[in-house]
Structure 1
Amino acid sequence: MADRGNRRDEFLKQQQAYKINAFNLICKMLEWCRTRETKLLMDEMLHSIFFLAKICVVPFSPEEIIPDKEMLQKLLASYPEPVKHLSKLPRRTPFSCVLDMVILMGNRENEAAVKTSLQEIARSLDAMFPVSTTICISQNTKNSMRHYGVSMSTTDQNQRAIMITASCCGPWDDYVSGAVMTFLSNKKKKKDTPEFNGAIKLPAYVRCQAFDLRTGSIKPACRSCGEMFGLPTNETHGWHHGNCAEAESLSNLLKHDKEVKGDVRIPSPKGTEEIRKRVQTDVCQKLKEILANNPYRMTWRGDFYTASAM
């Protein structure tokens, strides 16, 4: 009983940090909301924040994040859709929306400025969910176009598993999702699910480099990213496959650069499209089962939230 009480106390402590961080992110994003594009990012971030609050071990409501009733009323009047569609999954975590806002308000190719702006936001908040710890920049060094991503920013294990699996079922590029699903499916695969290897090897001209958002120092690829993407690393520690900023960053690169996508190697002949689709179906079904069980009791029909602006 004491252990259960200690765990609940820890959950409540994390929840309080989440509320404070989420509120401050909302206030910061509101400062930038002037155009339709910025309002779309705000709408998307609100849905992601409210959804993740709903699936916390100890769930909490928008009213608990924004205790000022007048502020909440005005916010929901401007952005009414996020609270209406919490049975739909977000396409990404809140801090990923913040990253895109920073890029939108600045210059995509000014890497130093993007990192500095995001670092200032991260350092002003508690080092807790929903604040990412890492940013990654991927680029085709032939044309220097930069593509960014941040780590999952989830401290709760169930939230992390849900968001990584959801990303594989929808938003991520198929090569990235295939690489991540290799480890999701082989770890918990059904008896009739074929062995699958969608790990990829990036061409030598691709740069994929991660940085710590608190210190600014370079972060070498972890063992998991080495396994999935063929990134050179001497690290023996690996985060949950798909948790790192490399996944989102590389997904953005592969979605927008046909040359890189065409030059990616899939070492295993078992990474066929037919098997990949079957594995993805099984992974998405597992996600539905997780959401349907306690404590969530959500019926997910495979749809993701699409932001709108009034």
Structure 2
Amino acid sequence: MLEWCRTRETKLLMDEMFHSIFFLAKINIPPFSPEEIIPDKEMLQALLESYPKPVKHLSQLPRRSPFSCVLDMVVLVTGQQNEDQIKNQLQQFVQQLGGDTSKAFLSTTMCVSQIKGKDSVRHYGVSMSTSGPVAGRIMVATSCLQTWHKDVAGAVLSYDQRSKEMPLRSYFNGTIRLPQNIRCEAYNIRDKKPKPPCKSCGNLFGFTNSEGKQWPYGNCAEVESLSKLLTTEAVQVQFQKDNPGDREKAVEEVRTELKNLLSMIHHKWDGKFYVPQSI
């Protein structure tokens, strides 16, 4: 990542990635300090001199998980149109860091979304790169509240993740259907093989070719990819229910759940979300 870091935009990605890593390490059980993550004292000192803000603002919450920053860096230096090269870079990156074992901050899946057409812009996303159910729920909540496009966030907010059954909320259903001219395809990062959408993505976005396996809502690569698509493209989605219901109630319930999760792990949140900075 440091080798690619040349412009202000790439430096912002580095700053954001460091904050997300240090935050997730801090709330891990057991917690890990920056010194334990980067035991080389000279390297750590150099990084903290270049990126002093992340460690100073660990009371704030990251807006997304670390590998999302890695993905954006790869797309930035490779070019969004070079899909095969991006897949190759991510594969090499994961293999170099993780070998054949799973690592806490490495995503397993990437997704590409675009308006169908040879020259249309490709929008990439990766699965949530966290370790443990509490960290994952925290990052999904912060992404819904701060990061994802409102229609994608609304779809995820529709499901109550406090129980293993993850039921649809009785008072809000913001699930959507995408137009037929949208391509949304996921791939395994390690072998680049296509992956059909899971049942959760079928429920969120109306995919008819979804498989029976179900993941916690908001963890799949399709969510981030489609969020980027809807944020930058003029795409009209259709709500699966004519009257979605009380979205604000769902937002406040997720915000309360987020506070409860942070309290449960004894993290003192200052109420702010981290904004990456460069010096």
Q: Distance in 1 between matches of 2:52 and 2:215?
A: 36
Deviations 1:254-291 (A, max 9, x none): 00012x1xx2000213314xx11221111111101210
The reply on whether 1:34 has 2:14 as its aligned counterpart is no
Whole-angstrom CA distance in 2 between matches of 1:75 and 1:41:
14
Match of 1:247 in 2: 223
The whole-number CA distance in structure 1 between the counterparts of 2:209 and 2:131 is 25
Residue 304 of structure 1: aligned partner: 273
* Aligned residue in 2 for 1:179: 155
Q: Is the 8 A contact 2:141 2:258 kept in 1?
A: yes
Q: Which amino acid aligns with 1:47?
A: H
Which digits, 9 at most, give the CA deviation of each residue in 1:120-157, with x for residues without a partner?
10111222210000000000114621100000022311
The equivalent position to 2:30 in structure 1, one of 50, 58, 62, is 58
**Where does the alignment leave 5 or more consecutive residues of structure 2 unmatched?**
none
CA contact (8 A) 1:210 1:245 kept: yes
Preserved CA contact (<8 Å) 2:198 2:215: yes
Query: Is the 2:202–2:208 Cα contact (8 Å) retained in structure 1?
Result: yes
State the partner residue of 1:25.
none
2:239 matches 1:266:
yes
**Aligned counterpart in structure 2 of residue 290 of structure 1, from 245, 250, 261:** 261
Contact residue 200 and residue 214 of structure 2 kept, 8 A: yes
Q: Percent identity among equivalent residues?
A: 51
Q: Which runs of 5+ in 1 are unaligned?
A: 1-28
Match of 2:103 in 1: 128
- Partner of 2:251 in structure 1? 280
TM-score normalised per structure 2: 0.93
Q: Deviations over 1:180-234 (max 9, x none)?
A: 111127959xxxx861101100000000000000111000000000000112224
Q: Is the 8 A contact 1:185 1:279 kept in 2?
A: no
Helix, strand or coil for the counterpart of 1:31?
coil
Of 61, 64, 80 in structure 2, the residue corresponding to residue 89 of structure 1 is 61
Distance 1:110 1:133 in 2: 20
The worse-fitting range, judged by mean Cα deviation, of 93-102 and 176-185 is 176-185
**Alpha-carbon distance in structure 2 between the residues aligned to 1:239 and 1:180:** 12
* Residue in structure 2 matched with residue 116 of structure 1 by the alignment: 88
Contact kept in structure 2, 1:134 and 1:213, CA below 8 Å: yes
1:139 is matched with which residue: 105, 114, 118? 114
Contact kept in structure 1, 2:199 and 2:213, CA below 8 Å: yes
**Structure-1-length-normalised TM-score:** 0.84
Distance 1:197 1:185, change over 3 A: farther
1:148 maps onto 2:124 in alignment:
yes
Q: How does 1:95-110 map to 2 (within 5 A)?
A: 95-110=67-82
* CA distance in structure 1 between the aligned counterparts of 2:269 and 2:60, rounded to whole angstroms: 9
What letter matches 1:225 in structure 2?
A: C
The number of aligned residues is: 271
